[in-house]
Amino acid sequence: MTLIRHGIRVTPARAREGLKVAPVRPAPASEAASLGHLFLLDDRYRLLARVGEGGMGVVWRALDLDLDEIVAVKFLREDLANDPRLVAAFRREIKLGRRVTHRNVARVFEFGHTDELYFLTMEFIAGESLHAHLHRCGPRPALWVLELAAGLCRGLAAALAVGVVHGDIKPGNILMSPGRGAVITDFGIARALSEPLAREEYLGGTPHYMAPEQALHGQLSPASDVYSVGIVLFEALAGRSPWPTRDARALLELQAAGHEPALRSLAPQVRPEWLELLTACLRAEPGDRPRDVRALLLRLAALRGVL
């Protein structure tokens, strides 16, 4: 017998006699009643609580019964599972994510497929997303943002060291861990620099955070991640977007015209040194930006001395 809850098909849990399970924080009563600890995925992962959702799927906190550890399980939405491009992108997420090992990147473990359900498992990071944090706290102090920037760049530099560009840096894909600072998740549209994008391959992303070359032409490079980091850092400092619109079509028109945000007029309260650095990150042409996050790290080190 199978049940479907929140777009996830799972089977009733079977008792495992003699299994010692470490205590975990219980799921909220409302979730435990509807799904919670009563069901297993693939006879191994006990689903505990839904912790996130994106365009391609949902993420649950789960107990790995084989290893007696808490993990995160990300599911590809069932209505997308019949699209070979999206399934390929989902497989690529774990293939590329497993290459990266760094404290500022969430580890990816394995890919699973059962009953027409695709999922992957990854390290569970306790902490809220940067999106939730900024919504709760508003603009952050310059030194706080500097630490955020350093963590993001170090994690992305570790990915770049193994030939991977993330391609979807945004507040929702950054978790704020009390012990580790900023932790990058979701390599769903990441690219290997050694593997050019095939015509039929899927390259998604979030338009508001995508560099012009990525949004307009599907081109992804190390400078594209620099652009996305610049958007995130400006939002953390200024408490607002550098773009005058949230409409994706209008934003693409601005980018196609070569428009660059006028950061100084948008956030006069932000220190000029920050605005100068972020303006460089948000240049329309990739060659006018810091070439990659390693170059951006050097600029951040100089900024630390000023601050």
At 175-234, the pLDDT tens digits run 999 999 999 998 877 778 766 554 444 456 788 999 999 989 888 899 999 999 999 999
Q: Which residues on adjacent β-strands are paired with residue 144?
A: none
**Annotation says 288 is catalytic:** no
pLDDT at position 254 over 70: yes
Which H or E run contains 70? strand 69-76
pLDDT at position 93 over 90: no
For residue 186, what pLDDT is reported? 87
Q: Which domains does the chain have, with CATH numbers?
A: 3-123 (3.30.200.20), 130-306 (1.10.510.10)
Read off the pLDDT band of 38 (50, 70, 90): low
H-only helix segments in the chain: 29-34, 84-97, 130-137, 142-161, 212-217, 222-238, 248-256, 263-266, 272-281, 293-306
Alpha carbons 1 and 280: distance in angstroms, whole number: 57
For residue 149, what pLDDT is reported? 97
Residue 172 backbone phi and psi in degrees, to 5: -70, -20
For residue 189, what pLDDT is reported? 72
Alpha carbons 273 and 236: distance in angstroms, whole number: 15
| Average pLDDT rounded to a whole number, residues 39-68 | 89
For residue 81, what pLDDT is reported? 84
For residue 114, what pLDDT is reported? 82
Q: Could you write out the DSSP letters of every residue in 21-42?
A: ----PPPPHHHHHHTGGGEEET
For residue 21, what pLDDT is reported? 30
For residue 26, what pLDDT is reported? 36
Alpha carbons 106 and 158: distance in angstroms, whole number: 12
Question: Which residue among the candidates 64, 66, 168, 247 is catalytic per the annotation?
Answer: 168
Task: Give the residue from 214, 221, 170, 204 showing the smallest Cα distance to 86.
Answer: 204
Alpha carbons 215 and 223: distance in angstroms, whole number: 13
What's this model's pTM, rounded to 2 decimal places?
0.84
